[in-house]
Structure 1
Amino acid sequence: MEDRGGEAATLNNIGLVYSDLGEKQTALDYYNQALPLYRAVEDRGGEATTLNNIGLVYDSLGEKQTALDYYNQALPLYRAVEDRGGEATTLNNIGLVYDSLGEKQTALDYLNQALPLRRAVEDRGGEAGTLNNIGHVYSDLGEKQTALDYYNQALPLRRAVEDRRGEATTLTNMASLQRSQGELTEALVNMEKAINLTEELRSLAPPGELRQTFFSTVQDRYQLYIELLMELHQQNPQKGYDALAFHASERSRARSLLELLAEAGANIREGVDPQLLQQEQSLIQQHNAIEHQRHELTRGQFTTAQIDALTTQSQSLINQLNQLQTQIRVVSPNYANLQYPQPLNLEQVQQQVLDDDTLLLQYYLGEERSFLWAVTKDSITSYILPNSTEIEAVATPYREAINLDNTTTVAQGLALSEILIAPVVNQLNNQRLLIVADGILQFIPFAALPIPSQPDTPLLVEHEIVTASSATLIANQREQLANRPTAAKAVAVIADPIFESNDPRLNSQISSENNPPSLDNLALARATRSLGLGDTAPQLNRLEYSRLEAQNIAELFPENERIKALDFEASRYLATHPNLSQYQIIHFATHGLIHPVNPELSGLVLSLFNPQGESDNGFLRLNDIFNLNLPAELVVLSACQTGLGREVRGEGLVGLTRGFMYAGARRVVVSLWNVNDLATSQLMTRFYQQMLNENQPPIIALRQAQLEMWNSGQWQSPYYWGAFTIQGDWR
C-alpha cells in the first residue's frame, strides 16, 4: 500500500535540507509537493509544519507578507492538535518577520509568547534560538546590555545541543554588538570562533553546487570579520591585523573553484562504477537534447506553455545531474583521499604567487566600506575605499558606456580610476598587476582604466595586467600543472560555424576560404559576437571576420602542427573529440551564450547544421566543457562576454572560465562584453603575431596587441580592445 503520509514527510525533510543549504526555490518545490499529501491524509500537524516551512522560505526570499500568511495558517493548526513546540516555532517565526519589518515591540510580543512554550516542551535548541532572536531585537533597539544578556543565555544552550550553525549565528551577533560598543578585541575573539565554525559547517555541506550555495549565505560573517580586523589595524598598525584581514579575504572567495580544480587533478572519476559514469553522460546528453529542442522551438512559432514545459524538464535534469555528481564524489576512491587546498595566508601568497615584478591588488567590497590590499613579495599596504554602493554608482555607468558605445574614451573611466587606482598609484612602478576583483569590479576592464595623472592614457601603457578569482588559485594551479608535459601540436582553431538555415553554405559546398569579407563592409564591421540571454533563441548572425581571424592565425603555424576547422567542421563533435587534447592552444572564434541564472546553460555556439543541411546540436555547454580533457597552455574564447557568468557571493563569476580550467587549461583569454567582429579579428591576429613572431608569453602578447589597437586611431576606443583579459598563471 502506498504511504502518502510517509511520502509527504520525506518530501518535507528533503525540502528542509535544501533550505538549510540556501537552495530556497528547490526547497519550496518539495514543500509544495508535501502539502497536498498531508491534507489528503488529514495530517493537520504535518500540514502545519509544511506551512511553517514554506513561510520560512518566503521570509528568506524577502516576501514578508506572504511569509506571515503561511505562518498564520500554521498557527491555529498547531494549536488545534495541541503541538506546543510547533506553536512556539511559528510564534518565533512571526516575531522574526515583524522584527525585519521594523515593528520591534510586536516582534518582542511574539517572541516572548514563544519562549515559555519552548521551555515547557524542553526544546533547548528552540529556546536558544528564541533567546538569540530576542537579543537581536534589543540590540536593534539600542539596549545593548540587555541584548548581550540574552545572547549569553543562548550560547551555552546552543553548545549543549551541539547546534553549530546556531552557535556561529549567536557568536556573530555578539561580535557585532561588541564592535558597536568599541570592544574590538572581545568582538574579534567571538568572530574568530564563528568563522571557524562556519568553515567546519562548509566542509560538512555536500560538495559542489550545494556547498557553494551554503557559502554564499554566510558571507556577511566574513565581511564583519574583515571589518573588525581592519579597525584593529587602524588602531594598531604594527600588529599584523591587515595581514589577517587579507587572509580572511582569501578565505571568503572562490573556494568552490579551488576545490573543483583539486578534484580535476585527482581524477575523481577514476575507479568509480562505470554505470554511474554512464548515467552521468546520459543525463548530460538528455539535457543537451532538451536544450537543443528548446532552441529549435524558439526559432519558429511557440507558446509560453511549450517553453515552460521544456524549462521544467531542463531544470529537473540539472538537479538530477548535480545529485549524481555528488554521489560520484562520495563513492570515488580518489575523492576519499583528496585533501582540498586551503586558502593561502599573506606570507604564502608572497612566497608562492608573487615575484619581484608583480604587484597584487586585491579588492573587497563591503556595505560599510571597501578595502584594497596592495601586496608585493615583501610588503602589504592596505587602503580604505568607499562602500560597495558608492563604487557601484560610479562603476555601473562606466561599464554600460564601454560595453555599448564605440566612441567611449579612456578618460571616461577617470572617476572610477580615482577610486580604485589613485590610492595605490605610488606603488605601481611599472609592475605587472595581478587583479583580484570583487563584486561589480569583476566586470571592469582594468587595462582600459586611465592612469589617474594621465586621464587619456590607459593603465595598459605602463602595466601588464592579469586577473584571477583569488591569489590562492594561481599557486594551486602552478603546483598542479608543474610537471605536466606540453602537448605535441601547436594550435586548433575553430571558427565561422553555420548558425542559420539561410546561410548560403548550406546550399553550396564551395568554401569561401579565399573570399574573406572586405574590410569596408560597414554592416559586418558593426557586427558583434553576440550574447544570448535567457530562454529565447538569440539572433546568431554569421561572423565572417572570424574566418579571416582563423586564416591569419593558422598561417603562423606549420601545417602539420595545426588544425583549422571552419564551416560544418566547426562543430560540437570536433570540440569534444579526444584529439583536441593534442594541442597547446585551443582557439574558439564564435558566438558565446551566457545564461545569467543557470550557468550550466552557458556555452559556445558551434555549427547548428551538418553538411546534409540537417539541424545539429552545436551548443558546447558548461557541463560538456567540464567533461573535456584539454591539457592546453592557452584557451582563447574569441567570443562575447565569455568571461562573465552568474555572480555568486563568495565565489565570483560562475561561467566558462572555470569550465576550461577544470578541463586543464593553464590560462584562458576571455571577454567582458559583446565584442566587435572586425576589431576582434584584428586584435587576435596581432595577439598571435606577438606570440609567434616576437616569441612573447600570452600576457605580454595580449598587452602589445591591445596597445597596437589603442595607437591605431581606427580602434582607439577601449570598446574595441578592452574587453579581453587573461585569467590564470602569467608565467
Structure 2
Amino acid sequence: MEVLMFRKIMEQYCTIQKTYGVKKNLLLLFCLLSVIPLQGQLTDSIYHTVDRLAKASAPHIFKRLEEKASAFEKQAVTPREHTAMLILRCNMGYHYRKSGMSQKAIACYESAWKNYQDHQLTDYDIIEYCLKPLGNLYTISGNFTQAENTIKSYLFLAEEQGNRVQRVAAVLNLSVVYHNTGNFHTAIRLLEKYLKNTVPDTKQKALLLNNLATNYFALEEYEKSEAILKQATQTNPEITSPMYRNMAQLAKNRDQVILAQQYLDLAEKAIREQPSQARDIARLYVEKSELSTINGDTAQARKLLYTALGFLLPNHNKNALPNRETLYPENTLIAIFDALASLENDMETSLYYYELSFYVTGLLQKQIISQETKILHGNDNRIRSEKCIDLLYNTYKNTNKDHYLERAFFYAERSKASALKGAISQKSLAEKFPGDSLLLKENTLSSIHENTVNKLVRAQLTGQGKDSVRLYTKTSNRLNLELKSLRHKIDEKYPETPFSGISVPLLRNKLKNDNASMIVYFSGKQHLYIFAFSRNGAELHRKDNTSALREEIRHFISFFDNPSRINNDVTAYSRSAYQVYRSLIPSGILNTEYLVIVPDGLLGFIPFEALLIEPAQSDNYNRMPFLVKRQKMVYQTSADLYLREYRYTEKEKLLGIFPIFESTPMELRYSEEEAESIRCITDADILSGKDATKANFLEKAGNYDIIHLSTHASGGNFVIPANIEFRDDVMLLHELYGLQLKPALVVLSACETGIGKLQRGEGAISLARGFQYAGANRILFSLWKVNDRATSRIMTLFYQNYQKYASASAANHQSKIDYLEDKEVPLAQKSPYYWSGFVYYGNIQHEKLPVSSQIIVSGTIVALLCTALFIEFYRRKKRKRHRSARGR
C-alpha cells in the first residue's frame, strides 16, 4: 500500500517540477512524502477511537469523538480506511442508540450505509451491524417510508446471500412497519407467506406468529389472534415481552384487567432480564397506566406516566411541567403527554400537554422526507386536534367568548392539509430565492425521487421482476438520504416559521372585500365542527351523532354513482339534498355574493351547489331551489390558503390536451367538439389525437398559464394510485409530485379527478391534489364519472364565461346556471349529475365586465359561431357509438 502511495506522490511531484522547477518544490516533496506515515497511521487511529467508544459515557466525550470521526472521514481514501470508518460509525450508532440518542444514532448508521455503498465495501456484516438497527430506529421514530426501504434493502441482500436468518428478521421488521402504517392485510400476507414457505427456527417462528397475532388483533379478529398467539407460545416456550404484551391486550379487550396487569408484570420482568432501552420500559409503563385509567385510578395512572417520563427524561423535575428544551424526537414521549392530557381536569394544563405532543411530533417530522409518512403523522395530529377543539368548544359555549372560538380554529387549521401546505411553502421559498443552489438542488432531487417512486410503483404493478424493484428501492433509499441531508441544511439557512394561527379579523376583512362568507369544517371521530364566518360575526357549531350524519352524507353522495340514480327517484334525492343542507349550512350564512367552502373528510365529495335550500315542490329540475341559484360557490383546501396572494397575468396562454382515443373502445367523441369550441373561444394551443402524448405535455406544460386536460382518469384504489391518461401512456399521481409547474389555472375535464384515497386532514389523495402539489394555484376538477357530452357543453360554457368575466370562480358558477337554463338540454339531463360534478378550488377573482359594445358584439358572434360549430359536430356524429363517461 505504501509503495503505491509513494509512486502516486512521486508522479504528482514530477508534474509540479515540470511546471515550476526543482528548487522551489523540494519543500513540497518533503511535505508530500510526510503523508506516507500519516496514511499508514490513520486506520490505527480510527480503530483506537472505536476502542475508546466502549468507555465513553459523558456527552462531552461523545462530542469529541464525533469531531474526530468527522476529521477522519475527510482523510480516509483507501479501502482499509473506509472500512475502518464504517466500523467506527456503526459503533457510534450503537452507543448513541444505547444512550437514547436516536437521531444521532440514525445519522451515524446513515453515514455508514452511504460509505458502504459509495466505496463498494464487502468485508463487513452490514445487515447485522448497520441496516437492522437503522431500520428499527426509523420504525420507532415514525419514519416509515425510510424504514420500509431500508428493511427491503437488507431483505434483498439476505436473499442474495442465502441468509435465511436475516431474511426472516427482515420479514419480521417489515411486518412491524406495515402494522404501524395500518396496512394490516399486507403484513398478514407477508407473514403467512414466510410461515408457509420458510422453515425458520423455533424462536423466529414464534416471533412470526406473534406479529401475525398482532395484526389480526388490529383487525378485531380476537379469537383468531388468540389462537395464533397460543400457537406461538407452544412453538417456543421462552415467552418474550411482546408476547406477554399481546396477551395483556387480549385480556384487556375482554375486560380482564387484573389478568392484563399480570401479563404486563411478566412483560416487565422479561424486559429487565434483557439488555433494553429506556423507551421499551417506558412504553410498558404507558400500557400499565391505561389499565389504571380503566380501573378509575387516575392517581396511579399519573404516577405510572411520570415514572415512564423519568426513564426518558432522567433529569426532569417531577414537581414541574416538562418544557420543550428538554424534549427530543421520540414516539413514547408523545404517548405519555397525550395520556397525561386526557387525565387532566384543568383545560389549560391539558392543552399544554397536547402542545408538547404536537411539538415532539414536529421534531419527528423534520426527519421525514416522504409525503406518505408525513400524512400518517398528520392523522395522529388530527385526533389530538379534535380533543383540543372539544375542550375549547365546551368553554366557548359556557362563556360565549370569541377568544375560545379563535383558539379552536387554530387547531382546526393547523391540522388541515399540512403536508400539502408544507410542499407549497417549499415551492414559495424556491420562488423567493431562485438562485439559491441548495433550493435548486432540492427541486432537482425531489423530481428525481418522485420519478423513482413512480417507476417503483409501476414495477410492482406490472410485475417487472425483483431486479427492477430492487434497483428502484435502492435508488429511492439513496435519494431519501440525500434529500434529508439537504433539507437539514436548508432548514438551518431558512428556519421554518411554526404555524401561529390565522388572524380571524384579517380573515373577516378579506371575506368582506370579496363579498363572501366562509364555512370551515372539521370532521372528527366524535363530532363535526362547523366554523362559520360572515358579516354577522363568527360562530362555532358542533354536530353530534356523527355516525348518523356520515350515513346521511354517504346517502346523498350515492345519488351521483351513475346518471340514472337521481332520475329514478327524484323525490328521494330532493329530500336528501334538503336534509344535508339543513345539517351542514348554518342559518344566516347566505347573505353575501360568494360562499367559500373549506370541506373536510367525506364532505370533500359533496357538490354543495346541488343542495336544496328549501323543500322541493316539484320534480322539475328547472324549478328546484338549488343552492347554486342562490350563491356563487368557491372551495378551498384551507382558510390559510384562501388568505394567500396569487399571481395574475393579463394575457393567459392556454394549453389543451385532448387524446380523444378515436377508433378505440376508449373514444371520447365529445372531447373533440370540446377542443374545437375552446380553440374557437380562447385561441388556445391544442394537442389532440396522436399529438396528445405524455412527453408533449411534460415538455410544454410549464410554459402555459392555463392547462386543460380532457381525457380519461381514475381516482385509483388501495393498490393503484390515482392516474390520468394520455394518448400513449398513463401518468400516475407520483409523477405529478415531481413536476415543477406554475399554472394560474388547471382544468381537469375528466372523471374522478378529485377522487382518491381519503386521508384524515389531508383530504383525497387525488389528481387535483397532485396538481396543487405541482404548483397550480387554482383548479377545476370532477367529483365522479362525468358524462362526456354534458362535460363538453359545461366546458364550452365555462370558457365563454371565463372570456367574459376573466374570473374562474364566476365562470364556473355561470356555466352551471347557463346549462340549467339552456332550452336545448333535455329535462332529464338537467339532473345535478350532469352539471354539478365540477368544483372550483382557488381564490375569488373579481369579475371584469366588458365595457365596450364592440367587445360585447364580438363576444356574441364568437359564442354564436361556437354554438353553430357544436351543433354541426353533433349532427355529423350523432349516430356514432361512444363512451358516456371520462373514466375507466
| TM-score using structure 1 length | 0.78
Equivalent in the alignment of 1:710:
820
- Counterpart CA distance in 2 for 1:207 and 1:544 is 40
- Counterpart CA distance in 1 for 2:540 and 2:467 is 48
Amino acid at match of 2:164: P
Amino acid at match of 2:412: S
SS in 1 for 2:789: helix
Q: List alignment gaps of at least 5 residues for structure 2.
A: 1-121, 170-199, 316-326, 618-623, 846-888
Alignment of 1:299-698 (within 5 A): 307-308=462-463, 317=472, 320-321=475-476, 324=479, 327-328=482-483, 330-331=485-486, 337-340=493-496, 342-343=498-499, 345-347=501-503, 350=507, 354-356=511-513, 357-376=515-534, 379-406=537-564, 408=566, 409=570, 411=574, 412-421=576-585, 424-452=586-614, 456-476=624-644, 478=645, 481-482=646-647, 486=649, 490-498=653-661, 503=664, 541-558=666-683, 562-577=684-699, 579-597=700-718, 601-608=721-728, 618-692=729-803, 694-698=804-808
Deviations 1:567-618 (A, max 9, x none): 10111122111x333322111111113223367x42321113xxxxxxxxx2
Q: 1:343 to 1:354 in 2, by over 3 A?
A: farther
- Counterpart CA distance in 2 for 1:274 and 1:70 is 52
Aligned length in residues: 652
- Counterpart CA distance in 1 for 2:279 and 2:136 is 20
Identity, in percent, stands at: 21
SS in 2 for 1:372: strand
Deviation of 1:387 after TM superposition, in Å, equals: 4.1
Which 10-residue stretch deviates more, 227-236 or 548-557? 227-236
The 8 Å contact of residues 51 and 73 in structure 1, kept in 2 or not, is answered as: yes
The 8 Å contact of residues 263 and 338 in structure 1, kept in 2 or not, is answered as: no
Q: 1:87 to 1:322 in 2, by over 3 A?
A: closer
Deviation of 1:432 after TM superposition, in Å, equals: 1.6
The 8 Å contact of residues 266 and 335 in structure 1, kept in 2 or not, is answered as: no
Deviations 1:689-712 (A, max 9, x none): 1111x2241111100111122334
Equivalent in the alignment of 2:135:
14
SS in 2 for 1:402: coil
Deviation of 1:169 after TM superposition, in Å, equals: 1.4
- Counterpart CA distance in 2 for 1:124 and 1:340 is 31
Equivalent in the alignment of 1:142:
296
Deviation of 1:659 after TM superposition, in Å, equals: 2.5
Deviations 1:515-567 (A, max 9, x none): xxxxxxxxxxxxxxxxxxxxxxxxx6211101111111110124xxx211211
Equivalent in the alignment of 1:178:
344
Equivalent in the alignment of 2:363:
200
The 8 Å contact of residues 39 and 47 in structure 1, kept in 2 or not, is answered as: no
* Selected match of 2:393 from 219, 223, 230: 230
- Counterpart CA distance in 2 for 1:414 and 1:314 is 51
Amino acid at match of 2:554: T
Equivalent in the alignment of 1:304:
none
- Counterpart CA distance in 2 for 1:543 and 1:396 is 30
Deviations 1:33-54 (A, max 9, x none): 7893248999998888787677
* Selected match of 2:283 from 129, 133, 136: 129
Deviation of 1:402 after TM superposition, in Å, equals: 2.0
The 8 Å contact of residues 417 and 762 in structure 2, kept in 1 or not, is answered as: yes
- Counterpart CA distance in 1 for 2:208 and 2:137 is 10
The 8 Å contact of residues 353 and 471 in structure 1, kept in 2 or not, is answered as: no
The 8 Å contact of residues 329 and 335 in structure 1, kept in 2 or not, is answered as: no
Deviation of 1:420 after TM superposition, in Å, equals: 0.6
Equivalent in the alignment of 2:855:
none
Q: 1:77 to 1:10 in 2, by over 3 A?
A: farther
The 8 Å contact of residues 350 and 377 in structure 1, kept in 2 or not, is answered as: no
Equivalent in the alignment of 1:512:
none
Q: 1:625 to 1:128 in 2, by over 3 A?
A: closer
Deviations 1:216-239 (A, max 9, x none): 244322221221121222222226
Deviation of 1:21 after TM superposition, in Å, equals: 2.2
- Counterpart CA distance in 2 for 1:315 and 1:120 is 39
- Counterpart CA distance in 2 for 1:551 and 1:102 is 68
Equivalent in the alignment of 2:114:
none
The 8 Å contact of residues 609 and 633 in structure 2, kept in 1 or not, is answered as: yes
Deviation of 1:249 after TM superposition, in Å, equals: 0.7
Equivalent in the alignment of 2:307:
153
Which 10-residue stretch deviates more, 5-14 or 639-648? 5-14
Deviations 1:648-688 (A, max 9, x none): 22321222223222333220100000000000011110111
SS in 1 for 2:830: coil
The 8 Å contact of residues 508 and 534 in structure 2, kept in 1 or not, is answered as: no
Deviation of 1:282 after TM superposition, in Å, equals: 7.0
Equivalent in the alignment of 2:65:
none
- Counterpart CA distance in 2 for 1:113 and 1:571 is 63
SS in 1 for 2:526: coil
SS in 1 for 2:681: coil
Structure with more of its chain in helix, by fraction? 2
Deviation of 1:321 after TM superposition, in Å, equals: 3.8
The 8 Å contact of residues 175 and 188 in structure 1, kept in 2 or not, is answered as: yes
- Counterpart CA distance in 2 for 1:168 and 1:469 is 28
- Counterpart CA distance in 2 for 1:315 and 1:722 is 45
- Counterpart CA distance in 2 for 1:115 and 1:291 is 42
CA root-mean-square deviation: 4.0
- Counterpart CA distance in 2 for 1:283 and 1:621 is 14
Deviation of 1:337 after TM superposition, in Å, equals: 3.3
The 8 Å contact of residues 467 and 725 in structure 1, kept in 2 or not, is answered as: yes
The 8 Å contact of residues 816 and 836 in structure 2, kept in 1 or not, is answered as: yes
Deviations 1:177-233 (A, max 9, x none): 335xxx545433433333333333333444533222222244322221221121222
- Counterpart CA distance in 1 for 2:167 and 2:738 is 44
Q: 1:341 to 1:666 in 2, by over 3 A?
A: farther
Amino acid at match of 1:92: R
Alignment of 1:235-250 (within 5 A): 235-238=398-401, 240-250=403-413
Q: 1:446 to 1:317 in 2, by over 3 A?
A: farther
Which 10-residue stretch deviates more, 697-706 or 234-243? 234-243
Q: 1:685 to 1:278 in 2, by over 3 A?
A: closer
Q: 1:390 to 1:316 in 2, by over 3 A?
A: farther
Which 10-residue stretch deviates more, 37-46 or 542-551? 37-46
Deviation of 1:316 after TM superposition, in Å, equals: 7.8
Equivalent in the alignment of 1:729:
843
SS in 2 for 1:641: coil
Deviation of 1:627 after TM superposition, in Å, equals: 3.7
* Selected match of 1:221 from 362, 365, 384: 384
Which 10-residue stretch deviates more, 381-390 or 53-62? 53-62
Q: 1:728 to 1:124 in 2, by over 3 A?
A: same
Amino acid at match of 2:485: V
Larger Rg: 2
The 8 Å contact of residues 175 and 191 in structure 1, kept in 2 or not, is answered as: yes
The 8 Å contact of residues 284 and 624 in structure 1, kept in 2 or not, is answered as: yes
